[in-house]
Chains A and B, each alone.
Chain A
């Protein structure tokens, strides 16, 4: 499905902080949505946690910076970072070019109980984007 120019793949979960989460396989992967990368501008830098970092729900785990903006990244999952997309440090433009592909941020092994918070469906995310657009 789409919202304006932005793609919203229907096999992912989303957060109201504009992250997508792929929970189809283990480990789960996270990244920025198409909507936010379109509206934020060209990404200049990204800060991500190191491998083996333990994440808690709602904990800040990094940030993404454009020319005039910075977005703090908050984890919707409890788990352990098992992989970091290091390519993004030298090629942050991948986040703009392929937000659901090569622009992924981190892979997380979820906790045993699979704790998460704030995950919404693609339909709920699209409704949320309508609210965001009205607010702006």
Chain B
């Protein structure tokens, strides 16, 4: 499970900056041989991970515990801490993943009674698996597309990276998930990482495409993980991330569309809204909170706590306060002016 989940459930001691609370317990399936994929930005990539002992994913450690103990701990914690709303089970790429995931979901669902989301790779999962997952009680299927374009996807996750993932299969997987779970956005989501080499126009185009399919978009900001093929990469500038967050929010709420937005050399220059309306939305702050399933707030997953302390908190895991809004406004006003 994530280190944040381990701390929340009492397996590890630790503090959260600004007393952030975790709303979703993130679990990760593991196998002796690890993940068979080789995504260049991921700490679980087969060429570097060397099995389940490599614990890095999305910036932090993911310590292991028996599922039975985890379920007991979730029940204890959820009784005291009503902030915990959900469990998310993420699967690595493995031929055993679909069957194992359904088994885990059944146990978690019956053991905790909490909502259960899943993060899967269409490389290993077919439509029939989605039907089994839904029957087991899964409320959400999310697919980590991560890259905004086919070219980037192939370079970082597919043939270019020596990995098994294919863009077409991923998008088909999203369609299949919508067929099974419905297109009410709460049923199906995708992960999109900003800062892998895409333009803002490409990212926003994919976001619109997903919302048109009835799928929600969960945004991440690239963080270079040590030991990965992209460890020397740079985080995207905060202004760039804020622009894409704003664009996603506007599309998600039906306040604007990709077609109404203006881009210059791939950079977002116009959001398709009058400036005063845009400022009001910025000052509300919600556009800059973590996006995902209800309750999934992933505190400090895309930046170090020190960066967060310096005003570079990318996805706010709690409603931004007045000082946060001032910081965001500077970062976004520069970006939108």
Interfacial chain A residues near B305, Cβ < 8 Å: 65-70
Query: Which of B20, B60, B308 touches A67 (beta carbons < 8 Å)?
Result: B60
The stretch of B7-15, B206-214, B250-258 that contacts the partner chain = B7-15
* CB contact list, A53-77 vs B, under 8 A: 63, 65-70, 72
* CB contact list, B239-264 vs A, under 8 A: none
Interfacial chain B residues near A65, Cβ < 8 Å: 304-306
Looking at the assembled complex, report how far the CB atom of B194 sits from the nearest CB atom of chain A, in whole angstroms.
Answer: 21
Is A82 in the interface zone, CB < 8 Å from B? no
User: How far is B309's CA from A63's CA once the two chains are assembled, in angstroms?
Assistant: 10
Looking at the assembled complex, report how far the CB atom of A42 sits from the nearest CB atom of chain B, in whole angstroms.
Answer: 8
Interface range on chain A (Cβ under 8 Å from partner)? 10 to 19
Looking at the assembled complex, report how far the CB atom of A101 sits from the nearest CB atom of chain B, in whole angstroms.
Answer: 20
The stretch of A8-16, A23-31, A33-41, A109-117 that contacts the partner chain = A33-41
B306 touches A63 (CB 8 A): yes
B17 touches A41 (CB 8 A): no
User: How far is B4's CA from A12's CA once the two chains are assembled, in angstroms?
Assistant: 33
B306 touches A68 (CB 8 A): no
Looking at the assembled complex, report how far the CB atom of A75 sits from the nearest CB atom of chain B, in whole angstroms.
Answer: 18
Is B167 in the interface zone, CB < 8 Å from A? no
Take A41-B7, A45-B304 as given contacts and tell me if A67 and B14 are in contact as well, using a CB distance cutoff of 8 Å.
Answer: yes
User: How far is B14's CA from A69's CA once the two chains are assembled, in angstroms?
Assistant: 8
Interfacial chain A residues near B17, Cβ < 8 Å: 68-70
B13 touches A68 (CB 8 A): no
B306 touches A41 (CB 8 A): no
Q: Which residue of B lies closest to A40 (CB)?
A: B15
Q: Which residue of B lies closest to A5 (CB)?
A: B13
Query: Which of B14, B20, B300, B304 touches A40 (beta carbons < 8 Å)?
Result: B14
B309 touches A41 (CB 8 A): no
Is B299 in the interface zone, CB < 8 Å from A? yes
Is A91 in the interface zone, CB < 8 Å from B? no
Is A47 in the interface zone, CB < 8 Å from B? yes
User: How far is B15's CA from A47's CA once the two chains are assembled, in angstroms?
Assistant: 18
Subset of 5 A-B contacts with CB under 8 Å? A41-B14, A42-B14, A68-B17, A68-B300, A70-B308
Q: Which residues of B contact A (CB under 8 A)?
A: 3-4, 7, 12-17, 20, 60-61, 299-300, 304-306, 308-309
Q: Which residues of A contact B (CB under 8 A)?
A: 38-42, 44-45, 47, 63, 65-70, 72
Q: Apart from A44-B304, A69-B305, what are 9 other A-B pairs with CB-CB below 8 Å? A: A39-B13, A40-B13, A41-B3, A41-B12, A41-B14, A42-B14, A67-B14, A69-B14, A70-B306
Q: Which 7 A-B pairs have the closest CB atoms?
A: A41-B14, A70-B305, A69-B15, A69-B17, A67-B3, A68-B16, A67-B60
